[in-house]
């Protein structure tokens, strides 16, 4: 703080105060305003830090099924886990649908769709999945003229089943925890 002539200059303010003004009001007001601005800046900053930390933490602590299916190591471990629970038909069907949609040429569409239907959809199939009757019938009708999306509803239903049921158990399993620990250890080495 420095004094010049009839007024006082304050370090953070360029406004010159006349000696007749209420100096207490002017001094307190800027400090209060300054502290409010700082408080809001700090609060906003901390909320952003909390958001980013919680997202990263949630992402690392609770990976999504989608992330597990994209990583070959975790996919293999998840597949083994489902085999131990006698529900590997779910992941096998999901993978077959992904393969069907991305790699089936138009001339082999009917043949490949029929193969998937017989293996996973039709009643008493060797690896029958649990989908509702309406979806099963819709797929059966679509086999006359199949499209790349003919299994989409069934695939979505199986995905949701794995996401809600199998994936949480897998994330708590020894297989997942040891794989996660191994990958962390290798990262540090």
pLDDT score, position 10: 46
3-class SS of residue 7: strand
In the prediction, which pLDDT does 54 show?
42
Q: How confident is the model at residue 178 (pLDDT cuts 50, 70, 90)?
A: confident
Q: Which helix (H) or strand (E) holds 174?
A: helix 174-188
Looking at residue 119, the DSSP 8-state letter turns out to be I
Element (H, E) at 3: strand 2-4
Q: What is the DSSP string of 148-160?
A: TTTTHHHHHHHHH
pTM of the model as a whole: 0.65
Q: Which residues contact 166 (CB under 8 A, 6 or more apart)?
A: 78, 81, 82, 85, 87, 90
Least confident of 9-18, 51-60, 115-124: 51-60
Span 39-82, pLDDT tens digits: 555 556 555 554 444 434 444 556 899 999 999 999 999 999 99
């Amino acid at each position: 703080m420095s004094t010049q002539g009839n007024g006082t200059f304050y370090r953070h303010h360029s406004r010159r105060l006349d000696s007749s003004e209420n100096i207490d009001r002017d001094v307190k007001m800027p400090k209060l305003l300054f502290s409010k601005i700082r408080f809001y800046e700090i609060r906003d900053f901390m909320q952003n830090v909390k958001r980013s930390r919680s997202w990263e933490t949630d992402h690392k602590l609770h990976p999504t099924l989608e992330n597990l299916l994209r990583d070959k190591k975790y996919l293999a471990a998840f597949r083994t886990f489902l085999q131990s629970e006698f529900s590997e038909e779910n992941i096998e069907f999901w993978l077959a649908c992904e393969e069907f949609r991305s790699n089936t040429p138009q001339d082999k569409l009917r043949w490949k769709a029929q193969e998937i239907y017989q293996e996973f959809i039709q009643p008493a199939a060797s690896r029958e999945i649990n989908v509702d009757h309406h979806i099963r019938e819709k797929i059966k009708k679509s086999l006359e003229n199949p499209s790349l999306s003919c299994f989409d509803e069934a695939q979505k239903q199986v995905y949701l089943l794995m996401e809600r049921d199998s994936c949480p158990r897998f994330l708590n399993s020894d297989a997942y925890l040891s794989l996660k620990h191994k990958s962390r250890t290798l990262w540090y080495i």
